[in-house]
Structure 1
Amino acid sequence: MARRDLTGAVDFTVLEDMTGGDAAISEEVLGLFVEQAALWSVLLNPRADGWRDGVHTIRGAAAGIGAGDLAAICAQAETVEQALAAPALERVRDALDAALADVAAYRHELMLRGLKA
């Protein structure tokens, strides 16, 4: 997996602008995103208390790294009625999976750059 595997689910220029292009800080931020995704994704179940809190937290984390589509889908999901939560949360999970795949490819590229340096 490498940069060529990026799908566009994450606009890493947002992250690079935020970190000043510092690869170590970018890696740290992406690691935190992955941890947050793992912690909060368990709430992406319409029967879970606090599913809106999970979506809201993922939304903020996504916006911070440049996962604009994920953030937008989370924003939509936060406002749906309970009866429509299941399909909305499915869209969140799909967008989160796409963002995490891009993050994995980008982190792999960061690791390779570090080895070459």
Structure 2
Amino acid sequence: MAARDLTGAVDFTVLETMTGGADDITEEVLGLFTQQAALWSSLLDASSEGWRDAVHTIRGASAGVGAKDLAAVCAEVEHGEQASALAGLERVRTALDAALADVAAYRHELALRGLKG
């Protein structure tokens, strides 16, 4: 993956502003986001009592890294009806996958920058 693979699912200027452009801190935050996404994904099940909590957590974290579309989808689904949870959670999964793909490409670029010194 490389910068050319970025889709715009994440606006990394949001995170860069928060971290002051420090690549090591940016990498750490993105690494935590990626690790936590694996945990949250298992709770994105309409039959699970905790799905709203998972969506709420993803919403906050995604806003912090600049994944505005993911945060918006989460906000909508979090407050939606239980009857529409199945379809809503599929939308969250799709948006999360897009954000994670951008995060992977961006982290790759950070790694390359680190090698170049």
TM-score under structure 1 normalisation? 0.99
For the aligned residue pairs, the C-alpha RMSD in angstroms reads 0.5
Please say if 1:97 is aligned against 2:113.
no
Aligned residues with identical type, % of pairs? 74
Aligned residues: 117
Alpha-carbon distance in 1 for matches of 2:108, 2:65 = 16
Q: Deviations over 1:24-72 (max 9, x none)?
A: 0000000010111111111101001110000000000000000000000
SS in 2 for 1:8: coil
Task: Give the AA of the match of 2:102.
Answer: D
SS in 1 for 2:100: helix
Alpha-carbon distance in 2 for matches of 1:74, 1:27 = 24
* Distance apart, 1:82 and its partner CA: 0.7
* Structure 1 partner of 2:5: 5
Alpha-carbon distance in 1 for matches of 2:67, 2:114 = 24
Q: Which moved more, 1:91-100 or 1:37-46?
A: 37-46
* Structure 2 partner of 1:31: 31
* Structure 1 partner of 2:109: 109
Task: List 4+ stretches of structure 1 deviating above 2 A.
Answer: none
Alpha-carbon distance in 2 for matches of 1:84, 1:100 = 24
TM-score under structure 2 normalisation? 0.99
* Structure 2 partner of 1:44: 44
* Structure 1 partner of 2:55: 55
Alpha-carbon distance in 1 for matches of 2:45, 2:34 = 19
Alpha-carbon distance in 1 for matches of 2:16, 2:4 = 17
Alpha-carbon distance in 2 for matches of 1:37, 1:56 = 12
Alpha-carbon distance in 1 for matches of 2:60, 2:24 = 21
- Tell me, which stretches of 5 or more residues in structure 1 are unaligned? none
